[in-house]
Amino acid sequence: MTENDISERLQQQQLITDSVTAFARRELSPAALRSGAVSRERWQGLAELGLMGMMIPEDTGGLGLRIGDLVPALEALGRPLLREPLVASAVFAGTLLSKTASTEKGAELLARLAEGALLPAVAWQEEYRLEASHAGTMLAASGEGRILTGRKILVVPGTDIDGLLVLAGTGGGKALVWLEPQAKGLRIESGTAADGGAIATVHFDKVPVDTADILSVDAGDLFDEALQTTTIAACAEMLGLICGAIDMTMDYLRTRKQFNRTIGSFQGLQHRAADLFIQQELSAAAIARAVADFEATTDAKGRAIAASRAKARVSSAALIVTKEAIQMHGGIGYTDEHEIGLYLKRALTLSAWLGNAGEHRARFAQLTMGVAA
């Protein structure tokens, strides 16, 4: 990259971050999390900010920015608890579509996504454990065509979607398949995540797959890279959540009075507040390192280490911070009417999604220390 490219990139990043921050102030509030529903109008608004197209390569009509450029914007949206599945649909599905945009279908879907006219979900996980193979769903030949059989869990978002990107085994490798919700033999069983959002278990009962909808039959590597990109993006959103929860809690400590004093003047709380600030700064440092490593490396192992170091830290920090936030609010923090609880629920959801702190620490150990006994 030349210096010109870098400064152009920084300018674009700054422009998007500024407009996203303004949008977040204007359009978002934590309370919106309660409704559970995704707003198509807001989805469109996010697309108009350029967020859907940010990571789409320039030759396919996007801005060609990288994950690091997205971090400040995601942080700004995470702060007021963005309800819309920007990371799940725009980053995860968007990255997969960018990487398969050489197919006619991929290009078409990507264009719709960039316009804000597509809300896709990625169906990849089959067990709760991150390290499972997730390869039981099979794409198999059947007569003239092919059919998909199996089951996926924890599909985000789990309702009101325009289609699914399904990761399926082919016997030899992995395929990426596009399915629309009304496909024959497809059953979407909606459930609810801790934060009130919809997640789904999806059943495939000999679903016929059109050849044009097979985006890749060699999707293993591109999928891993997209998953790791998404993992770092989820961390950036969680960092915003951490900052938001700390802000709200510090406001409370500065105003709530007991024993004729603002409770924030008590050293017992002050020291714990300082520890929360440390968690916030560690999370930012972990993400910065992960982004730098992710962008500097070209090998799959390096990318996996980068994603795991971020998710291990930030998942843990998000829970530490939001649990303490509840404690510092006292009884009111445990009521559904106070917004601080929404931060805890969102933290529970995002910290477990794509692998929790323990799973990522284990993977980090595996990748950096060699195989265990």
Partner 1 sequence: MSAAKQQDWNALSDEDFRSVVREFFTTHYPEELRYSPSRRRLSEMRGWYDTLSQHGWVAPAWPAEYGGMGLEPGKLVIFIEEQEAHGVARVPDHGIVMVGPLLIQQGSDDQRKRYLPKILSGEEIWCQGYSEPNAGSDLASLRTEAVLDGDEFVVNGQKTWSTLAQDGTHMFMLVRTDKQARKQEGISFLLVDMKTPGITVRPMRTLSGHEEFCEVFFDNVRVPKENIVGEINKGWGVAKALLSFERLFLGSPKLAQSALARLSTLAVLAGRDRDLVFRDRFAALQLDVDDLNGLYRRFTAQVRSGEKLGPDVSILKIWGTETFARIGDLIVETAGGAGMVDGPSAFGNETFDVLSNFYNARPSTIYGGTNEIQRNIIAGNVLNLPSA
Residues that bind partner 1 (CB under 8 A): 250, 253-254, 262, 264-267, 269-271, 273-275, 277-278, 281-282, 285-286, 288-289, 309, 312-313, 358, 361-362, 364-365, 368-369, 372-373
CB neighbours (10 Å) of residue 135?
16
Measured from the CB atom, is 176 or 263 closer to partner 1? 263
Measured from the CB atom, is 117 or 273 closer to partner 1? 273
Are the C-beta atoms of 116 and 46 separated by less than 8 Å?
yes
Six-digit token string for 26: 């204007």
CB proximity list for 217: less than 8 A, separation 6 or greater = 170, 173, 175
**Nearest distance, CB of residue 5 and partner 1, angstroms:** 22
**Nearest distance, CB of residue 316 and partner 1, angstroms:** 9
Measured from the CB atom, is 94 or 264 closer to partner 1? 264
**Nearest distance, CB of residue 260 and partner 1, angstroms:** 13
Are the C-beta atoms of 317 and 242 separated by less than 8 Å?
yes
**Nearest distance, CB of residue 319 and partner 1, angstroms:** 14
User: 145 - beta bridge partners?
Assistant: 142
**Nearest distance, CB of residue 228 and partner 1, angstroms:** 17
Six-digit token string for 332: 């009111």
Measured from the CB atom, is 85 or 264 closer to partner 1? 264
Ramachandran assignment for 351, one of left (phi > 0), alpha (psi -120 to 50 degrees), beta (any other): alpha
Measured from the CB atom, is 107 or 362 closer to partner 1? 362
Are the C-beta atoms of 201 and 151 separated by less than 8 Å?
yes
Measured from the CB atom, is 32 or 291 closer to partner 1? 291
**Nearest distance, CB of residue 229 and partner 1, angstroms:** 20
Measured from the CB atom, is 159 or 283 closer to partner 1? 283
CA distance 40 to 27: 13
Measured from the CB atom, is 90 or 245 closer to partner 1? 245
Kindly provide the residue ranges of all beta strands, DSSP E only, lying in the chain, ordered along the sequence. Answer: 120-123, 138-142, 145-155, 163-169, 174-179, 186-192, 198-209, 214-216, 257-258, 261-262
**Nearest distance, CB of residue 200 and partner 1, angstroms:** 32
**Nearest distance, CB of residue 188 and partner 1, angstroms:** 36
DSSP class per residue in 251-285: HHHHH-EETTEEGGG-HHHHHHHHHHHHHHHHHHH
CA distance 229 to 237: 13
